[in-house]
């Protein structure tokens, strides 16, 4: 963990792991950090919850996988009120009590599932995740009951982001095309053309997916690129509004600051860059 202004390492968390860390999420009150790490050749994914200031582990639990490739696409996300933790994996998407590690809801209620991405609705009443059911779809489900509410057509959806105002869901498919749906009007409003990594093909495209992130005002979507860039798309004009190009290798992660004034990106050039939002 680094201090944003100085770039100084301020946390002992980086000394706790020997396996790959594949997903990290801050709790809404900034008092906890949840992360997922794959463990050994079995490719089991263990969820850890830490105190970010002391590095003390508060809880850990296993969410296993029988599929080596898809297990590396697990994701972790806190509910908006910080009371629950949502995770996705090749076996299921589930909601867990972060104090006890007990599962309180899951999707689906039975049968095989391939879920590699997860996002909460801003009010915490719904979640969206990818699945092998209904023809490799994107599924909207109740976080209270685990019941399916709606399916969106998708070809192995990977990255998912729900806009802060609750109006839009953005997701990427296996061909790296990004779709933006108006949830309330049940309408596809924008398709962003895909770009495959020239060094990869087939199933590996799912692992090396683009990262996407909404601006706090829900008008712009940041998208990482294999062109060593971060592109900004405006959902109102349906046009690309700006491109950040300082990475020397493909960008893999992106996030907005809470006030929308800055954008952070990380890439295969082993750098984290903080940009002034335009």
**Residue 51 in domain:** yes
In a domain, 94, yes or no: yes
Domain that includes residue 126, residue range: 12-157
Write out pLDDT tens, residues 218-274.
999 999 988 888 999 999 999 999 999 989 998 888 999 999 999 999 988 989 899
Average pLDDT, the chain: 81
Q: What is the pTM of this model?
A: 0.81
Whether 33 is covered by a domain: the verdict is yes
CA neighbor of 218 nearest in space, from 138, 152, 78, 122: 122
Q: What is the CATH number of the domain that holds 105?
A: 2.130.10.10
Mean pLDDT of 161-182: 91
Residue 125 lies in a domain: yes
Pick the closest to residue 138 from 165, 177, 104 (CA basis): 177
Q: Are 45 and 97 in contact (CB under 8 A)?
A: no
Q: What is the pLDDT, as a whole number, of residue 60?
A: 86
The total number of structural domains in the chain stands at 1
Domain assignment of residue 71, yes or no: yes
pLDDT tens profile 1-51: 766 677 777 766 655 554 677 788 999 998 999 988 876 545 567 888 999
Residue 85: inside a domain, yes or no?
yes
Q: Pick 208 or 170 by higher pLDDT.
A: 170
Domain contains 29? yes
The answer to whether position 23 is within a domain reads yes
Using one digit for the tens of pLDDT, what is the confidence trace for 142-156? 988 888 888 887 777
Q: How confident is the model at residue 196 (pLDDT cuts 50, 70, 90)?
A: low
**If you average pLDDT over residues 164-172, what whole number do you get?**
94
């Amino acid at each position: 963990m680094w201090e944003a202004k100085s770039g100084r390492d301020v946390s002992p968390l980086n000394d706790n792991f020997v396996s790959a860390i594949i997903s990290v999420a801050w709790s809404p009150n900034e008092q906890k950090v949840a992360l997922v790490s794959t463990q050994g050749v079995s490719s089991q994914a263990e969820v850890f919850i830490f105190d970010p200031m002391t590095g003390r582990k508060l809880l850990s639990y296993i969410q296993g996988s029988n599929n080596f490739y898809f297990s590396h696409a697990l994701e972790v996300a806190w509910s908006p009120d910080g009371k629950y933790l949502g995770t996705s994996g090749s076996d299921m998407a589930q909601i867990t009590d972060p104090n006890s590690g007990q599962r309180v809801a899951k999707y689906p209620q039975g049968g095989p599932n391939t879920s590699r991405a997860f996002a909460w609705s801003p009010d915490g009443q719904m979640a969206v995740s990818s699945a092998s059911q209904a023809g490799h779809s994107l599924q909207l489900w109740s976080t209270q009951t685990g019941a399916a509410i709606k399916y969106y057509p998708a070809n192995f959806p990977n990255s998912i982001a729900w806009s802060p105002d609750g109006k839009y869901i953005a997701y990427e498919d296996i061909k790296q095309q990004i779709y933006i749906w108006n949830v309330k009007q049940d309408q596809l409003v924008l398709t962003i053309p895909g770009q495959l990594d020239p060094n990869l093909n087939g199933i590996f495209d799912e692992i090396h997916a683009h990262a996407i992130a909404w601006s706090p005002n829900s008008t712009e979507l940041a998208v990482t690129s294999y062109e060593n860039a971060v592109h900004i798309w405006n959902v109102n004009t349906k046009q690309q509004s700006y491109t950040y190009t300082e990475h020397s290798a493909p960008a893999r992660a992106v996030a907005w600051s809470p006030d929308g004034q800055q954008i952070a990106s990380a890439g295969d050039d082993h750098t984290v860059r903080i940009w002034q939002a335009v």
